[in-house]
Every structure is written in C-alpha cells, then in structure tokens.
C-alpha cells in the first residue's frame, strides 16, 4: 500500500439540512475532506459524489459552492469559522460557460483579476496555465472555435484562477466516448495533483468513472422505513475510502478484479437507494 497520512480538514459539511415549504430535501448531511499527504509527491484530493437523479445532489452542490444557504448546518473550508462564501469553491458546469465575445486569453485574464490585483502576476499565471494545459496556441481564439474538450480545460483553468483550491465539477463524464472519458479522468487527476491543497468534488452518475479518478466516494440516498418506503430527506448514506482499500494511485488498477468487484459493490448499493 502507498504511504500516506491525513492532515488538516480542508472542507467540512456540518449537519446540513434543507427544507422547502416544510418538506425535507436534505437531512443532517455530514462529511469532510482532509488533506492527503504523501512523501515526496504532490497529492490533491478527488471525491466522487454519487446518487440517483432527484436525490438532492444539485441542492447540496449549490450549498457547498456557497450559492445557496441551508436551512440549518453549514459548509466550511480551510478551517474558517464561517460558512463558505461564493467564489471560494469554483464550479465547472456541464456547458463550460465562457464569455463568447472574449478570447480565451481575455476570459482567463478576467478570472485571474478576481484574485490578483497585479496585472503582470495575473498575466503570468494565465500563460503558465495555458502552457500546462496545452492551450497556449488557442489563447487568441474565441470559445466557439474550441472543441468540447478544449472548452472544458479552459473552464477548469478559469475556476482555478478565481477560487481557493476547490473545484466542483458537474457531470464531467456525461456523453463522452471512451477516449474522451479517459482524457477527462486524466485531466481531473492532473488538476488535483498540481497542488497539495487542490480538492475536486466530481458530481456524477457514472460509478466506474468516479471510482477510477477518486480517492473517496460519497453515496447520497435516503433511509427507508420497515416497509421499505423511503423516508423524507436525503443524506450521505455511504462513504468509501479507496486509499484504505488500496484501489487508487496504482497504474492499471481499474483493470484488476478487485477494482471491478468494488465497482459492483457500489453499483449494488446504488440500486438500493
């Protein structure tokens, strides 16, 4: 097993509940992401956030991003004693929104200026990211001139530039062919490992893709009464530590029988939600 330790808590969901018109949507949701430390290796964090449609993932997604307030409880980042604020957690939406009338360089400079007041520092950061993500030759193009994969990379850079190491990705695997799926998983791991504090939460229905890229999985669902009827309000019913199971950070691990057995285990649990 790879050597690692857990350090400080980077993001904490603390007993979050949400109601609409007196109807529970989320009930006592609690989870946390700790900094993973590996010797001589930059290691970010990737959490796969799974659950069936209509279970409340989008509502919790928006609360984690600081876009909506819960009825009770809170989400905190970096140990701060206050709820997360909008902009502290970047959001990479499914349609990779960019300003269509601005070039890629202009889009990213605008994002960088949200945190960097020195224009040269902002410009240097953008150029470095464009090089890192193999997009420097697209800097003067407009979003409409890019492929879907290139737009995704630009949207990720945009959010890294203006957030504090945290990214929420909404269904990044939706509609991808096998080649693009592999590239997207590799991209997520690359972004996570650019800095020890980089933390990515991937919201998805794709159990296999989530397990192949994550170090932890959260599975959202509802409890059931004695007759099997779902109770109001969803929460995180299962968490899976892929590090403890020795199922991540090994090249080719996703082709092994124990990884495939783990995916079947999660899918079987998913079907009960």
CATH number, domain of 235, equals: 3.40.50.300
Q: Quote the pLDDT of residue 193.
A: 92
Buried b (16+ CB within 10 A) or exposed e, 111-138: bbbeebeeeeebbebbeebbeebebeeb
> End-to-end alpha-carbon separation of the chain, Å?
32
Tens place of pLDDT per residue across the chain (273 aa): 789 999 999 999 999 999 999 899 999 999 999 999 999 889 999 999 999 888 999 999 999 999 999 999 999 999 999 999 998 999 998 777 889 999 999 999 999 998 888 999 999 999 998 998 889 999 999 999 998 888 888 988 998 888 879 999 998 888 777 877 888 888 899 889 989 999 999 999 899 999 999 999 999 999 888 888 888 899 999 999 999 999 999 999 999 999 999 999 999 999 888
Q: Is the dihedral of CA 253, 258, 260, 264 positive or negative?
A: negative
59: containing domain: 5-66+165-271
75: CB partners within 8 A, 6+ apart:
11, 12, 13, 14, 16, 63, 64, 66, 83, 84
Q: Do 138 and 19 sit in the same domain of this protein?
A: no
> Domain for residue 82, yes or no?
no
- 195 and 112 both lie in a single domain: no
The span from the CA of 76 to the CA of 92, in Å, is: 19
208 and 249 housed in the same domain: yes
Cα separation, 166 vs 159, in Å, equals 9
176 and 153 co-located in one domain: no
* 62 and 180 inside one domain: yes
Do the Cβ atoms of 199 and 32 come closer than 8 Å?
Answer: no
Q: What was the pLDDT predicted at 169?
A: 92
Of the three residues 124, 146, 163, the one that is the final residue of a domain is 163
Q: Is residue 76 part of a domain?
A: no
Residues 181 and 130 reside in one and the same domain = no
Cα–Cα distance, 44 to 200 (Å, whole number): 8
Please report the pLDDT score of residue 2 as a whole number.
84
* Whether residue 111 is found in the same domain as residue 244: no
Per-residue confidence (pLDDT) for residue 61, from 0 to 100: 93
Say whether pTM exceeds 0.85.
yes
Residue 25 has a pLDDT of 95
Question: Both 56 and 114 in a single domain?
Answer: no
Examine residue 242 and state whether it is found in any structural domain, yes or no.
yes
Residues 105 and 153 both lie in one domain: yes
199 torsion bin: left (phi>0), alpha (psi -120 to 50), beta (else): beta
Same domain for 135 and 247, yes or no, is: no
pLDDT for the residue numbered 160: 87
Phi, psi (deg, nearest 5) at residue 183: -65, -40
Distance CA 247, CA 262 (A): 9
Q: Give the count of domains, the chain.
A: 2
45-50 β-sheet, strand order: 89-92, 166-170, 199-204, 45-50, 216-221, 235-241
Query: What was the pLDDT predicted at 176?
Result: 74
Task: Determine, yes or no, domain membership for 17.
Answer: yes
Whether 167 and 96 have beta carbons less than 8 Å apart is answered as no
Find out whether 203 and 171 touch, Cβ atoms under 8 Å: yes
Domain boundary among 111, 128, 163: 163
DSSP 231: P
Residues 200 and 125 reside in one and the same domain: no
Looking at 163, 179, 196, which one is the last position of a domain? 163
């Amino acid at each position: 097993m790879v050597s690692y330790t857990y350090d400080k808590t980077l993001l904490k969901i603390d007993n979050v509940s949400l109601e609409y018109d007196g109807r529970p949507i989320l009930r006592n949701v609690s989870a946390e992401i700790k900094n993973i430390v590996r010797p001589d290796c930059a290691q970010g964090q990737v959490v796969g956030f799974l659950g069936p449609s209509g279970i409340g993932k989008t509502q919790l997604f928006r609360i984690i991003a600081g876009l909506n307030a819960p009825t009770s409880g809170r989400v905190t980042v970096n140990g701060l004693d206050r709820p997360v604020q909008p902009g502290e957690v970047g959001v990479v939406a499914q349609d990779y929104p960019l300003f269509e009338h601005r070039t890629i360089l202009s889009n990213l400079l605008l994002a960088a200026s949200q945190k960097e007041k020195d224009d040269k520092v902002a410009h240097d950061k953008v150029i470095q990211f464009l090089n890192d993500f193999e997009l420097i030759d697209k800097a003067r193009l407009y979003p409409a001139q890019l492929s879907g994969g290139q737009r995704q990379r630009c949207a990720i850079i945009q959010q890294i530039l203006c957030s504090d190491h945290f990214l929420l990705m909404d269904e990044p695997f939706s509609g991808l062919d096998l080649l693009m799926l592999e590239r997207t998983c590799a991209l997520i791991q690359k972004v996570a490992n650019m800095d020890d504090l980089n933390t990515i939460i991937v919201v998805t229905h794709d159990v296999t893709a989530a397990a192949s890229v994550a170090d932890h999985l959260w599975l959202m669902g509802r409890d059931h009464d004695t007759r099997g009827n779902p109770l109001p309000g969803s929460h995180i019913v299962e968490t899976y530590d892929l590090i403890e199971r020795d199922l991540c950070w090994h090249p080719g691990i996703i082709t092994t029988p124990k990884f495939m057995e783990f995916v079947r285990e999660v899918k079987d649990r998913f079907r009960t939600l």
